[in-house]
Amino acid sequence: QVQLVESGGGVVQPGRSLRLSCAASGFTFSSYGMHWVRQAPGKGLEWVAVIWYDGSYKYYADSVKGRFTISRDNSKDTLNLQMDSLRAEDTAVYYCARGGMVIAAIPDFWGQGTLVTVSS
Amino acid sequence: DIQMTQSPSSLSASVGDRVTITCRASQDISNYLAWFQQKPGKAPKYLIYAASSLQSGVPSKFRGSGSGTDFNLTISSLQSEDFATYYCQQYKSYPLTFGGGTRVEIK
């Protein structure tokens, strides 16, 4: 069955960096676009970034552009999110999600998330 | 960027009721709209695409409608498992954007 398992979350000071990873299994990872979506505590969903199935295109939310970098390793079925210059407002649960096969822009399957807390 | 506004932000309903949630886009998105359900402490679940098409395995009690800028999600015969927060999402263009969510609570 499809599984997405995020890791790398934790407590980090403002201005520092953190790298999240998402291990995928149960589907042909290299055929799907992948997303990161976050949710601040008690708040709604905020889309963060997407990467095309082959890594050829990447898009970011304005709030993270220039600070976050999405990447993937199709040989290891892994999605990454490098987060630099972290701010308190980046505190959230970060979900890795698979884009649909037909509609890649809809995250059709989500991991359980990893919590990132930015605090001094 | 396309802004998505949901209303109400929360509603109370009883088991067996029918409820309707509204989602409005800041510009015409045709039918490039999806709906998600999220229960506390869980990841969101994908319900509807293209404004009105049910994702595989989603019961027909969920009905999406609308096009352009105004959309609705109607849930018929509410059951305990339907009490959750619902989000709309536009996929007309990047950056993708979600509505603020509608929490459906038990009256």
Query: Which among B42, B95, B100 is the nearest to A61, CB-wise?
Result: B95
Name the nearest CA neighbour of B23 among B39, B47, B43, B40. B47
Q: How confident is the model at residue B98 (pLDDT cuts 50, 70, 90)?
A: very high
Radius of gyration of chain A (CA): 13
Average pLDDT (A13-30) is 98
- Closest CA–CA distance from residue B32 to any residue of chain A (Å): 10
* Surface-to-core class of residue B44, CB atoms within 10 Å of its CB (0-12 exposed, 13-18 middle, 19+ buried): buried
| A66: Cα within 13 Å, side-chain hemisphere | 2
Residues B69, A36 contacting (CB under 8 angstroms): no
Q: Do B98 and A50 touch (CB under 8 A)?
A: no
Nearest CA in chain A to B50: A103
- Interface A-B, measured as beta-carbon pairs within 8 A, has a size of 57
Candidates A44, A59, A95; nearest CB to B94:
A59
Partner residues linked to B24 by β-bridges: B5, B70
- pLDDT, position B63: 98
8 Å CB contact of A105 and B91: yes
The predicted structure's pLDDT at residue A101: 86
* B27-30 contacts, C-beta under 8 A, 24 or more apart: B27/B2, B27/B69, B28/B68, B28/B69, B29/B2, B29/B68, B29/B69, B29/B90, B29/B92, B30/B67, B30/B68, B30/B92
Does the structure show a pLDDT above 90 at B107? no
Secondary structure (DSSP) of A8-45: --EEE-TT--EEEEEEEESS-GGGS-EEEEEE-TTS-E
Count of other CB atoms within 10 angstroms of residue A89: 10
For residue A38, the Cα-to-chain-centroid distance in whole angstroms is 8
A102 pLDDT more than 90: no
Q: Does position B29 have pLDDT exceeding 90, yes or no?
A: yes
Peptide bond into B59 cis (omega under 30): no
Residues of chain A with pLDDT > 70: what percent? 100
Distance from CA of A32 to the nearest CA of B (A): 16
What does DSSP assign to residue B79?
Answer: -
Minimal C-alpha gap between B17 and chain A (Å): 25
- For residue range B33-88, what is the model confidence (pLDDT) as tens digits? 999 999 999 999 999 999 999 999 999 999 999 999 999 999 999 999 999 999 99
Q: Which of B32, B34, B43 sits opposite A112 (nearest CB)?
A: B43
Closest A-chain CA to B37: A45
pLDDT, tens only, A45-80? 999 999 999 999 999 999 999 999 999 999 999 999
CB count in 10 Å sphere of residue B26: 13
